[in-house]
A and B are shown apart, each in its own frame.
Chain A
Amino acid sequence: MNRAQRGAAGSRGLGTMEVKSKFGAEFRRFSLERSKPGKFEEFYGLLQHVHKIPNVDVLVGYTDIHGDLLPINNDDNYHKAVSTANPLLRIFIQRKEDADYSAFGTDTMTRKKNVLSNVLRPDNHKKKPHIVISMPQDFRPVSSIIDVDILPETHRRVRLYKYGTDKPLGFYIRDGSSVRVTPHGLEKVPGIFISRLVPGGLAQSTGLLAVNDEVLEVNGIEVSGKSLDQVTDMMIANSRNLIITVRPANQRNNVVRNSRTSGSSGQSTESSLPSSTPNILGSLLQGEEESDDEDIIIEDSGEPQQIPKAAPTSESIESLSQIELLHESTQNGFLPSSEVNLNHSAGSISMEYEVPEQGRKSLEEDGTIITL
């Protein structure tokens, strides 16, 4: 933190931002246009260029204002890095093959000593790979399992966060039929199933959805009785914050609750259609989600801005409560803390990183300055 403040003195101009990049023992200095940082690929290429390591695969990291070492590997965290750098952006580069992923994360810079000990005893950290189970503010949630406490154990409610990423949702659905237990015995009923996951898509990368999972609800609305096209339209309409309740085809990975007594609804799994309790909760979730599709207005060719919510007048309050439900201000897409939020290892990033010790000493070394 104090380092960052010290760097503020060396601020160059309003539009540009100083970058100090370190690879091995070498430093390079250059500056970037703050308003037009460009894409991550370009930045990556630039780093390779200034360090004269054109064909070396490297990992890029930066120190944020809290002094944490965080990775830069896509446009989003690159832009985050640029926008938070004050004013100096410190970049650390290391070769992929000898990368230490544990270096990334909260308190990484202050944990230096531990990192150092890892470096000194490499066999140690290879035996026990460091697992980081925390959720740094700089990472976005990409998916979560929610409502575990109220859903039957055979069901899973998955929330996919599709804002700001370029990753496609990446799944397909189809018609099919499933067997239900009804008062009249077994009955074959039509259902909607996940038919395909696109490799590299959001759905696949979460690991929470699989081919042949039956879709039961979309954002709290039951899909039974709806056609494939209707369900498709519902999912696309909710695509910015999609909550789907599925019955996984593979029931072996279900959450097993400690006390059977509390999960009463989980006992009679097939015998009832998705019960009404999840429904109400789903609708509550829908209310929360309202906030993240704020429209944008440009007035008189000015700057785009989000459309504010008009203060409800007395005449419209009644209808408002019917249509809009809760309206929490979760502007940035971050979850209210009350929500159960498990970040599964497949989706979140937990990497380790190694910062060579000598890097700290030669911070003041001059590098080449390039102005973009």
Chain B
Amino acid sequence: MRRFLRPGHDPVRERLKRDLFQFNKTVEHGFPHQPSALGYSPFLRLMAIGTRSGAIKLYGAPGVEFMGLHEENNTVMQIHFIPDQCQLVTLLDDNSLHLWSLKQHGGASELREEHRFTLRGPPGSPPSATQVTAVLPHSSREVLYLGTESGNIFVVELPSLRVLEDRTITPEAVLQRIPEDNCNRRSCELVEALQEHPKNPDQILIGYSRGLIVLWDLQNNKPTQHFLGSQQLENLYWQRDGSKFISCHYDGSYTQWPVSSDNRQSEPLENTVPYGPFPCKAISKIYWQTTKNGLPYIIFQGGMPRASYGDRHSISVIHGSQQTAFDFTSRVIDFFIIFSSDPAAEFDDPSALVALAEEELVVIDLKSAGWPAVHPPYLASLHCSAITCSHHVSNIPLKLWERIISAGSKQNIHYSSMPWPIDGGTNIAPDPPQRDLLLTGHEDGTVRFWDASGVCLHLLYKLSTVRVFLTDADPNDNMNTLGEDEWPPLRKVGTFDPYSDDPRLGIQKIYLCKYSGYLAVAGTAGQVLVMELNDEDAEHVVDHAEADLLQDQEGYRWKGHEKLKTRDGPVRFEAGFQPFVLVQCQPPAVVTSLALHSEWKLVAFGTSHGFGLFDHQQKRLVFVKCTLHPSDQLALEGPLSRVKSLKKSLRQSFRRIRRSRVSSRKRRGAGGNASEVQEANAKFDQDALQEMELAPVQRKIEARSAEDSFTGFVRTLYFADTFLRDSSRHCPSLWAGTNGGTVYAFCLRVPPAERRMDEPVRAEQAKEIQLMHRAPVVGIVVLDGRSTPLPEPLEVAHDLSKSPDMQGSHQLLVVSEEQFKVFTLPKVSSKLKLKLTALEGCRVRKVTVANFGSCKTDDYSENDLAVLTNLGDIQIISLPFLKLQIRYPCIRKEDVSGIASCVFTKYGQGFYLISPSEFERFSLSTKWLVEPRCIVDMPEVTSNNHVHNKSGTESAARKSSPDDCGEDERKSGRLMEHALLNDEKVLKEIQSTLEGGR
């Protein structure tokens, strides 16, 4: 009863809780799921990506990121920046236009939706009349031209998004001035492209789908010239001086057209099918870039021979005799070229090609020989092979950090050294408080090391475990080895490769000791690798041992996959983490838990059959323990079982049906009027209810029994130096928790350092605890005499933690999916418990001890448990009293993979996958908050497009040097990067350079 009367309303504690805990979703790392549109502002030097779920993300210099979400959650079809403005327009697939702007607020810029607008035709007109197909923001920044399916071009005023009806360019008006013999009304259906004349803002080029191209004079409202293309038009591009333009077509050809005021109808200068003569696919977009040396860059998407290369996703670059067709790993959504944006410059001088493919962003350096790729500082394709697990390590010592970076830099030699070309905005976020690593394990047997300290999740180093094993795939099988005279000249770019050679290679558990540089990695086929960081390439033999977890259990037959074959003899490893020990579990079931103790040089691993302890110093198996229940046949059937997955898949398919109904309702709602929507909803509800009554979803209520399947599944392993046997002597111990609610404790005898190689490590079972509620044990922690969790191995040795209190009595915290329990040690008696499931009906999915610091005072911090439940809620539970502090909804409960992917950091932050390719970062702490904070300054623009450098900010500085050629610009860009580091000296230097330039 007291529980209900006083739910912890201690005002002091309540105030403290406000200083300690705060929930924020801070930033999304990785590559946007299902991108659908790309935009770029050469003025702001910002790139925008739209997605199929209605999100829009802006990226500039590393750390400069903005995100917006359209309420409608509809696919973003097009993104256009308003010239010389901090504004952009998005077109969604429901034909609505949205005006977004970057406004400064509280010292940082924010992306906000300003207006929305849907083009409406006269009553009774078909929807196609106003279906927008092309958008042209005019350089006057006053109007938008909207080409439609009907051939009308509507003019919309900015920023009010009001239609200026008298200025509409109708097909009739266009056709008046064009001889009727080669044109009719149908020639002007569907506006495919709208381009403004680069020199004369009063002229726009209108390309109609059927091939007719018209140069329209906005002043006199009449066509000045028309061009009759014979092929279906895909896109148009002006040459820089406005004397010519280029059109690309559905049949894989492109055509150059001359523009002159005296010629009303022009003939093409040149018509080329670059990958002819056989039928080719459409060229959907083309760039014509001029250079100082006269040879233009022609860059186009598509156009491959239909029969033999029609399935490739390519962008071709032709520069004189050089020609490369970049072959992307997934469909190309769109691309743009970064070139000299200064209007006074004579040539385009392209510097980089930025291509957005469905699964990754690829940037090609067009300035360096061989056109190498540029390593992106953000938008990493986390899913280039599916993520199978993740592990976070906070506060990496500088030494280890540098060694990892140096190992990684040796892997990145084939990347261009060009600085990141998309560098708009200024990152004003404080420097990340510490160096954090996020390690992701992948299906293809690789582990990727990400710099997770700041806003940009950046790949530092990639480790592959494949080399240790013999696989079917030949490592020398290189897709890039194409002959010289190969046609078309395809070159594979990008890293996205979702196809795993062998699913057994998949990484399941990772444990990195940040002090010693030891890394343990375990995989799907029961393989456990222990590695050491080596700064040099090395060739050595990997010691190999087998752990028979079934031991004396008779009559079992493993029906799953075979164990991986190992390579005999020495193996060459590149600099970085190099394996020196391989333990293979028998049966080769997936490794479900892993623990490494770098001080004792021991590694513990568990599968669904049992667990084992391996001494990686002496390279000797210390012991194995079978946890299998005699009646549990399913555990032997193979990789986690059919029965469960069937149940799960059934449940998921139900959910899918339900979800699809919801979304169809939404779609219906978008178009119709209110009463229709209501009617539809009512009908839907009725249908849903009926369906529910016909086939109710049932849940069986049954107590768990000892005979349930997978009770032996080892869920957690934990090393602790504690009082296991008596209260006078502490000793090393290994703890293991199973799916059936059993905790095993083993007393270890580790010889002292000087005799470490001579005497064997011994282990003896000391305790076995059976939790009566039999729920899976997901966490074990020992609390010292001050009720502080024991430090990590070597943490004390590195003076980073107070040594644990060995005087007071230790306590054991066992976290099962349903309860938290504190027991005394060494005599196990129950002290406290919190029955989460019985009270709330939720189950623990993830649990970590996290340290929370107060945002008010520097000297207060406390340890709590951060818990993620199966409902997607995050709860913070105090230690050691197990009091619920606070609860935040975080992940949708239907998002099973999101919940499964969640990792907590040691300082109250966390990550979970919101799509296969994106991590959402969140923070529970008031103190540790990593979120983007950046400024995009609007340079003043005068009528002659010259910029007065008043503010001395980065973008202003760049714009203000009209005479600089590309190289200087790059140099200043680089200098600016230093300026970001708040180096005043550099800032002055830049200013003087600029002044000197003038």
| A residues in contact (CB < 8 Å) with B | 162, 168-177, 195-196, 218-219, 221, 226-240, 242, 279-280, 283-284, 286, 293-301, 304, 307-310, 312, 316, 318-325
Q: State which of A229, A232, A280, A304 has its C-beta within 8 Å of the C-beta of B4.
A: A280
Contact between B698 and A195, CB atoms less than 8 A apart:
yes
Known contacts A226-B841, A234-B841, A295-B830: A283-B766 contact under CB 8 Å: no
Residue in A233, A237, A294, A322 whose Cβ sees the most chain B Cβ within 10 Å = A237
Contact between B703 and A228, CB atoms less than 8 A apart:
no
Contact between B4 and A283, CB atoms less than 8 A apart:
yes
Output the nearest chain B residue to A228 by Cβ-Cβ distance: B699
Contact between A231 and B832, CB atoms less than 8 A apart:
no
Complex CA distance for A309 and B2, rounded to whole angstroms: 21
Q: State which of A176, A195, A230, A239 has its C-beta within 8 Å of the C-beta of B840.
A: A230
Complex CA distance for A298 and B697, rounded to whole angstroms: 41
Instruction: Contacts A232-B841, A297-B770, A316-B881 known; list 20 others, CB within 8 Å.
Output: A174-B696, A174-B698, A175-B696, A195-B698, A221-B841, A231-B699, A235-B701, A279-B4, A283-B3, A294-B830, A297-B828, A298-B768, A298-B769, A299-B766, A299-B828, A308-B830, A310-B830, A321-B2, A322-B2, A322-B6
CB of B824 within 8 Å of the partner chain: yes
CB of B704 within 8 Å of the partner chain: yes
Contact between B832 and A323, CB atoms less than 8 A apart:
yes
Contact between B772 and A293, CB atoms less than 8 A apart:
yes
User: What number of residue pairs across chains A and B have CB atoms under 8 A from each other?
Assistant: 170
Q: List 20 A-B contacts (CB under 8 A).
A: A174-B698, A175-B692, A229-B841, A230-B842, A233-B818, A237-B773, A237-B835, A280-B1, A283-B1, A295-B769, A297-B770, A297-B828, A300-B765, A301-B768, A304-B770, A307-B823, A310-B824, A316-B832, A319-B883, A323-B882
B725: chain A residues at CB < 8 Å are 300
Complex CA distance for A318 and B915, rounded to whole angstroms: 44
CB of B829 within 8 Å of the partner chain: yes
Contact between A173 and B772, CB atoms less than 8 A apart:
no
CB of B837 within 8 Å of the partner chain: yes
B818: chain A residues at CB < 8 Å are 233, 237
CB of B240 within 8 Å of the partner chain: no
B837: chain A residues at CB < 8 Å are 233-234, 236-237
Q: 9 closest Cβ contacts across the A-B interface? A: A230-B841, A239-B703, A319-B881, A237-B837, A174-B696, A232-B699, A234-B841, A310-B829, A293-B772
Q: State which of B701, B769, B834, B870 has its C-beta within 8 Å of the C-beta of A236.
A: B701
Chain B 818-860 near chain A by CB (<8 Å), digits 1 or 0: 1001011000111111110111111100000000000000000
Q: State which of A195, A226, A240 has its C-beta within 8 Å of the C-beta of B696.
A: A195
Residue in B700, B768, B832 whose Cβ sees the most chain A Cβ within 10 Å = B700
Q: State which of A170, A226, A284, A296 has its C-beta within 8 Å of the C-beta of B770.
A: A296
Contact between A173 and B701, CB atoms less than 8 A apart:
yes
Contact between B838 and A238, CB atoms less than 8 A apart:
yes
Contact between A234 and B823, CB atoms less than 8 A apart:
no
Complex CA distance for A297 and B742, rounded to whole angstroms: 10
Contact between A322 and B3, CB atoms less than 8 A apart:
yes
Contact between A169 and B702, CB atoms less than 8 A apart:
yes
Query: Number of B interface residues, CB 8 Å?
Result: 55
Contact between B702 and A310, CB atoms less than 8 A apart:
no
Chain B 191-215 near chain A by CB (<8 Å), digits 1 or 0: 0000000000000000000000000
Complex CA distance for A243 and B821, rounded to whole angstroms: 23
Contact between A307 and B701, CB atoms less than 8 A apart:
no
CB of B871 within 8 Å of the partner chain: yes
A296: chain B residues at CB < 8 Å are 769-770, 772
CB of B650 within 8 Å of the partner chain: no
Known contacts A172-B701, A174-B696: A297-B769 contact under CB 8 Å: yes
Contact between B699 and A173, CB atoms less than 8 A apart:
yes
CB proximity of A227 to chain B, nearest CB, Å: 8
A324: chain B residues at CB < 8 Å are 832-833
Known contacts A240-B773, A300-B766, A319-B881: A169-B830 contact under CB 8 Å: no
CB of B218 within 8 Å of the partner chain: no
Complex CA distance for A101 and B3, rounded to whole angstroms: 49
Complex CA distance for A175 and B694, rounded to whole angstroms: 12
CB proximity of B889 to chain A, nearest CB, Å: 14
B830: chain A residues at CB < 8 Å are 294-295, 307-310
Complex CA distance for A308 and B769, rounded to whole angstroms: 12
Complex CA distance for A316 and B879, rounded to whole angstroms: 11
Complex CA distance for A281 and B640, rounded to whole angstroms: 43
A308: chain B residues at CB < 8 Å are 829-830
Contact between B839 and A221, CB atoms less than 8 A apart:
yes
A235: chain B residues at CB < 8 Å are 701
CB proximity of A296 to chain B, nearest CB, Å: 4
CB proximity of B787 to chain A, nearest CB, Å: 9
Contact between A293 and B770, CB atoms less than 8 A apart:
no
CB of B771 within 8 Å of the partner chain: yes
Output the nearest chain A residue to B3 by Cβ-Cβ distance: A322
**B688-711, CB < 8 A from A:** 689, 692-693, 696-704
A312: chain B residues at CB < 8 Å are 831
CB of B767 within 8 Å of the partner chain: yes
Contact between B831 and A316, CB atoms less than 8 A apart:
yes
Complex CA distance for A168 and B698, rounded to whole angstroms: 17
Contact between B841 and A172, CB atoms less than 8 A apart:
no
Contact between A172 and B838, CB atoms less than 8 A apart:
no
A170: chain B residues at CB < 8 Å are 702
Known contacts A283-B3, A322-B883: A301-B702 contact under CB 8 Å: no
Contact between A325 and B2, CB atoms less than 8 A apart:
yes
Complex CA distance for A280 and B771, rounded to whole angstroms: 27
Contact between B701 and A239, CB atoms less than 8 A apart:
yes
Complex CA distance for A234 and B835, rounded to whole angstroms: 10
A229: chain B residues at CB < 8 Å are 699, 841, 870
Known contacts A169-B703, A325-B2: A237-B834 contact under CB 8 Å: no
Residue in A195, A230, A280, A286 whose Cβ sees the most chain B Cβ within 10 Å = A230
A294: chain B residues at CB < 8 Å are 772, 830
Known contacts A195-B698, A299-B767, A307-B823: A231-B841 contact under CB 8 Å: yes
A231: chain B residues at CB < 8 Å are 699, 841
Known contacts A297-B767, A322-B2: A228-B697 contact under CB 8 Å: yes
Contact between A307 and B828, CB atoms less than 8 A apart:
yes
Q: State which of A176, A221, A301, A310 has its C-beta within 8 Å of the C-beta of B831.
A: A310
Output the nearest chain B residue to A193 by Cβ-Cβ distance: B696
Contact between A301 and B765, CB atoms less than 8 A apart:
yes
Complex CA distance for A307 and B698, rounded to whole angstroms: 36
CB proximity of A3 to chain B, nearest CB, Å: 39
B697: chain A residues at CB < 8 Å are 174-175, 228
Complex CA distance for A170 and B703, rounded to whole angstroms: 9
Complex CA distance for A237 and B818, rounded to whole angstroms: 7
Contact between A234 and B838, CB atoms less than 8 A apart:
yes
B767: chain A residues at CB < 8 Å are 297-300
CB proximity of B612 to chain A, nearest CB, Å: 19
Contact between A233 and B842, CB atoms less than 8 A apart:
yes
Contact between B883 and A239, CB atoms less than 8 A apart:
no
Contact between A240 and B703, CB atoms less than 8 A apart:
yes
A168: chain B residues at CB < 8 Å are 702-703
**B752-771, CB < 8 A from A:** 765-771
Known contacts A307-B769, A310-B831: A169-B699 contact under CB 8 Å: no
Contact between A323 and B833, CB atoms less than 8 A apart:
yes
CB proximity of A321 to chain B, nearest CB, Å: 6
Output the nearest chain B residue to A188 by Cβ-Cβ distance: B689
A299: chain B residues at CB < 8 Å are 766-767, 828
CB proximity of B188 to chain A, nearest CB, Å: 56
B8: chain A residues at CB < 8 Å are 322
Complex CA distance for A303 and B883, rounded to whole angstroms: 34
Output the nearest chain A residue to B836 by Cβ-Cβ distance: A237
Residue in A196, A219, A229, A232 whose Cβ sees the most chain B Cβ within 10 Å = A229
CB proximity of A150 to chain B, nearest CB, Å: 14
Complex CA distance for A231 and B4, rounded to whole angstroms: 21
Known contacts A316-B881, A319-B882: A325-B3 contact under CB 8 Å: yes
Q: State which of B772, B842, B882, B883 has its C-beta within 8 Å of the C-beta of A295.
A: B772
